[in-house]
Amino acid sequence: MTNWKDLHYLQTGSTRQQMAYDTLQNLGILNRLRDFNPVLAGTIPLGIDIASSDLDLLCAVASADISHFTDLLRAHYAHLPDFALAQKTINLRSSVVCRFRYQDFVVEIFGQDCPIEAQHAFRHMVVEDRVLQAGGDMWRTAVRQLKEKGLKTEPAFAILLQLRGNAYEALLELEGKSVAELRALLANLPAPLNVV
């Protein structure tokens, strides 16, 4: 099982994962945001990224620390192209979303008033990783193909898994399932490349 909190796994990953690691190092972002426990989430850690995939960095930011967090982001990254910073309520929690472009990537930093493990993006990634372990390269290819057609990651998984309703919520219903349980579930579904 990958330790998502230790980004050194990126150094031995795909070319794009290695580029992502270098980009984060060059930005100094992991060190600057270390008090907020930054974790890379999304398609790049899972190896299902496409050319337009961004770097999604999750941070745990207590409500009392939001001003400090936003000041830090402005101080270090406001000069970068397409910088945008917003505070909003997402899933009933105080949240900060910051985006900018650096080198070959769009970087999105998401700070929320809860531990990383409780954030939906992290929880989705853990489920998606197990599905990919259960399904192998065929599933990885099918997800990428759906993403190339314009689908977001969670809806792509939901289509392949034949989940009903809100894709983001439905995916979380698989949270407690092991790789073996997911493998049994996938065995009863059409081959993913037939769905694409």
pTM of the model: 0.93
Mean pLDDT (whole number) for 11-39: 94
Predicted confidence at residue 165, as pLDDT, reads 93
Residue 84: strand, helix, or coil: strand
Among 54, 38, 45, smallest CA distance to 9 is for: 45
**Mind listing the pLDDT tens digit for each residue in 92-129?**
888 999 999 998 899 999 999 999 999 999 999 999 99
Predicted confidence at residue 21, as pLDDT, reads 95
Residue 154 burial class via C-beta count within 10 angstroms: exposed 0-12, middle 13-18, buried 19 and up: buried
**Mind listing the pLDDT tens digit for each residue in 152-164?**
999 999 999 999 9
Banded model confidence at residue 180, pLDDT cuts 50, 70, 90: very high
Give the residue, 125 or 191, on which the prediction is more confident: 125
